[in-house]
Amino acid sequence: MSNQVIYMVMGFSVAAIVLIGIAYYMLSRRMQKSEYRKIQKLQQGTKSSAFSSEVMYQKLYLTYIKIPFIKRYILKLRRKLEILNIDDEYATRRDSAKIMTKALAILLPLVIITILLTKSNYLLMFILLMFEIFMIDILIEGSVDKKDDSLLAQQIDFFSEIRHAYHEFNMVEEAIYQVSQDDEKEVSRQGEKIYEILISDDPETELEKYYDVAPNNFLKEFAGLSYLTKEFGDRKIDGASLYLKNVDNITQEMQLEILKRDKLNYVFRSLSFISIAPVLLLEPLKAWAVSNFSFVKNWYYGKSGMIVQILILIITFISYILVRKLKDNGSVNMNTKNTQNPWQQKVYKNKFAKKIVDLFIPKEGTKDHKKIKDLLRDAASPLKIEWVYVNRICLAVVTFIASLFVFMYLHQIAINYEYTQPTTDYDLIGGTTAKDEKKAMELTKQDNEFLDMFRGKLNTKVEEIEKAVERSKYYKDADEEEIKSAAERIYDKLQVVNSEYLKWFELLLAFVFAIIGYMSQIWILMFQVKMRQLEMEDEVMQFQTIILMLMRIERVNVEIILEWLERYSNIFKSQITKCVNNYEAGAWEALEEFKNEISYMPLIRIVESMQAAVEKIPIKDAFDELDSERDYYRDKRRESNERLIARKGLIGKVIGFAPMICLFVGYLIIPLVFIGLTSMSSSFSSMSSAKF
């Protein structure tokens, strides 16, 4: 090959390399400016690391939903989260799995500790495990409440941004759309939903659907207000937008609610745990008392100690339920219980069970039937009257059976105590050494043989036991005094063993406890009604705020105001609903009937103003005092919230600390003092007789 050919090949190669380099440079410049770069960024954003918590929680959700016991709590949890994470299944599953994982991480160590501490007391172990199951509810509801409070706090900023956006666009739907573009906030999903409602073909129907799933009343008010403004237009009042004034009113309501919730959470922060804590301290307290004061061992390990334990457990359970009812009452959270087909409905569908339940339900039209219906209404309970009686009958049956088991268990404890405890006396003067303890246990084993010999023979006499003791190998060399003393001791034990059986008065007590269990459902509803009455003033003040927002909107009438009040009412919902239903037949008459059904004077004044607006004067004139005294009502509501929180806090502390007081007074101090004084008295008597 000639040099000329070699030079030509080298020249072509260099030229090709240069052309390829130029082409690569030009192509890369074009790709940087094209959509290819955007696709690369999107791909980088979706690439996950080796471990992804988001994926983990999605997989955990699928696992939890397959486990029978946990599935119930997951479904209950997701029903609440679906309201907060509207139309977002991914977020609902993630949050459900995250909350459940935290609850299990706390619960499982507690279960293990409980089993280790109470392995010798199966009744206490069972009850403690039941309490720990209830603690899942506390953890779950607490986590959901935090998300709900977070949403409420986000709404403050959301409404503030709405003001600026409304000034810019001067259109309600455009302002909401602009502010709802932040996908990271939960409130943005609610804003997007409200925007979709406003631009839909039938916004009124869609709005009614949203009212059923809105997380809180403030978003309902905002959605309804935005719809009215879009339909009827905005107005200038004193040079300012009426829509923005009303948004400010909602914001002030939210601020009051946030302060109220924060204070209630602070007051009740530890009360739920304090009400449960005594059951966790029963065994450690018993172990401490026995190790330091040996004379109380008989009491703690005997039937009396177990009875006091059970009473403390019952008081703790009642206190826990009441504290939860007290804290949860008046919450703006929606009731998410499954009221379509609960277990009560399944029981009532059974023909045999239905016949039994119907025997207890008062007949329609009777005074008792109306009384139960009114109680359910006043307590805002989602239960039907049939479900209430299913609960009552089941509670009565379970209480009766549980009482019989407890009585039999107590008898067995007393018998086991005689068979297993060292046969010796404990007093304040001296304790027992390990050698004495061993000797006492040997004596107990000897006595057990005689107990087995005469157990069940109710007519056994001391003389018969003396003869048996005298013939036994243990007392061959014993004198008459020792034999007589041993026979009397065995006879006393035998009397205890033979007397421990289910007696007629215990059966009667089981019936009494069953009646208490039967009535407990009604008592809880009555307690709930009393607690709801504390919220009465707060609800009427909320009515005043709603009227204040609606009174200056064009074409708003009394019927529309009543519909709004019905939508946001809780305590007075049934009366307002009845008034709305009767309104078409006669507005003034319907309002008069409404006024006669209530006794709370501030609400009566509102109804009288409505009657004036129906027949005589415009709405804005009928409620003119609300506008002129707006600051007064706001301060009054703030002061009312302070009183409500103080009152609830006082009641909650009394109920929450009751089990702890019963634990230390009834389970520690009284036994120590009473048994200590008794033991001291017997010790001094023995010393006095020994001197003489």
For 209-228, write each residue's pLDDT tens digit.
888 888 888 888 888 888 88
User: Which residues lie across from 241 on neighbouring strands?
Assistant: 236
Cβ(383)–Cβ(395) under 8 Å? no
Of 619, 624, 612, give the one whose Cα is nearest residue 560. 619
pTM of the entire structure? 0.69
With cut-offs at 50, 70 and 90, classify the pLDDT of residue 401: very high
42: which 2 tokens? 């999107």
Cβ(524)–Cβ(321) under 8 Å? yes
Of 520, 100, 130, 282, give the one whose Cα is nearest residue 92. 100
Distance CA 488, CA 490 (A): 5
So what's the pLDDT on residue 396?
A: 92
SS3 236: strand
Cβ(382)–Cβ(337) under 8 Å? yes
Neighbours of 684 (CB within 10 A): 13
> pLDDT at residue 427 above 50?
no
So what's the pLDDT on residue 558?
A: 87
So what's the pLDDT on residue 687?
A: 61
Q: Which of 27-41, 43-57, 107-121, 577-591 has the lowest mean pLDDT?
A: 27-41
Distance CA 240, CA 167 (A): 11
Q: Which of 44-48, 137-141, 144-148, 274-278 has the lowest mean pLDDT?
A: 44-48
With cut-offs at 50, 70 and 90, classify the pLDDT of residue 511: very high
Distance CA 307, CA 313 (A): 10
Burial classification of residue 657, based on how many CB atoms lie within 10 Å of its CB (0-12 exposed, 13-18 middle, 19 or more buried): middle
Q: What mean pLDDT is predicted for residues 513-535?
A: 84
Of 292, 301, 513, 524, give the one whose Cα is nearest residue 391. 524
With cut-offs at 50, 70 and 90, classify the pLDDT of residue 245: confident
Residue 682 Cα to chain centre, angstroms: 50
Q: What's the whole-number average pLDDT of the chain?
A: 79
Amino acid identity of 641? Answer: N
Q: Which of 16-25, 309-318, 372-381, 423-432 has the lowest mean pLDDT?
A: 423-432
More confident position, 679 or 16: 679
With cut-offs at 50, 70 and 90, classify the pLDDT of residue 518: very high
Distance CA 331, CA 349 (A): 33
So what's the pLDDT on residue 508?
A: 93
Of 116, 143, 413, 70, give the one whose Cα is nearest residue 280. 116
More confident position, 547 or 475: 547
Q: Tell me what percent of the residues of the chain surpass a pLDDT of 90.
A: 3
Cβ(564)–Cβ(546) under 8 Å? yes
Cβ(275)–Cβ(314) under 8 Å? no
So what's the pLDDT on residue 328?
A: 65
For 142-157, the pLDDT digits (tens) are 777 788 888 888 888 8
Q: Match 């007590």 to its residue by tokens.
A: 509
Cβ(531)–Cβ(329) under 8 Å? yes
Report the sign of the C-alpha dihedral through residues 139, 145, 149, 155, in that order: positive
Q: What mean pLDDT is predicted for residues 306-329?
A: 81
Q: Tell me what percent of the residues of the chain surpass a pLDDT of 70.
A: 84
Q: What mean pLDDT is predicted for residues 319-337?
A: 61
SS3 500: coil
Q: Match 């001296």 to its residue by tokens.
A: 430
More confident position, 491 or 130: 491
Q: What is the 3-state secondary structure (H, E, C) of 292-335?
A: HCHHHHHHHHCHHHHHHHHHHHHHHHHHHHHHHHHHHCCCCCCC
Q: What is the 3-state secondary structure (H, E, C) of 197-224?
A: HHCCCCHHHHHHHHHHHCCCHHHHHHHH
Instruction: Compute the radius of gyration of the chain from its Cα atoms.
Output: 37
Q: Which of 61-70, 81-90, 229-238, 367-376 has the lowest mean pLDDT?
A: 81-90
> pLDDT at residue 666 above 90?
no
Q: Match 């602070």 to its residue by tokens.
A: 266
Neighbours of 141 (CB within 10 A): 21
> pLDDT at residue 591 above 60?
yes
With cut-offs at 50, 70 and 90, classify the pLDDT of residue 34: very low
Distance CA 654, CA 650 (A): 6
Q: Which of 77-81, 102-106, 625-629 has the lowest mean pLDDT?
A: 625-629
So what's the pLDDT on residue 395?
A: 92
> pLDDT at residue 656 above 90?
no
Of 311, 305, 278, give the one whose Cα is nearest residue 289. 305
Share in percent of the chain as helix, strand, coil (round to 5): 80, 0, 20
Q: What mean pLDDT is predicted for residues 563-590?
A: 85
> pLDDT at residue 428 above 70?
no
**DSSP-assigned states of every residue in 1-55:** --HHHHHHHHHHHHHHHHHHHHHHHHHHHHHHHSHHHHHHHHHHHH---S--HHH
**DSSP-assigned states of every residue in 626-643:** HHHTHHHHHHHHHHHHHH
Q: Which of 199-213, 365-379, 472-486 has the lowest mean pLDDT?
A: 472-486
494: which 2 tokens? 């035998």
Q: Which of 288-292, 331-335, 579-583 has the lowest mean pLDDT?
A: 331-335
For 474-488, the pLDDT digits (tens) are 777 777 787 788 788
For 670-691, the pLDDT digits (tens) are 888 887 777 676 666 656 655 4
Of 184, 187, 177, give the one whose Cα is nearest residue 148. 187
Q: What mean pLDDT is predicted for residues 304-331?
A: 78
With cut-offs at 50, 70 and 90, classify the pLDDT of residue 557: confident
Of 346, 300, 302, 337, give the one whose Cα is nearest residue 83. 337
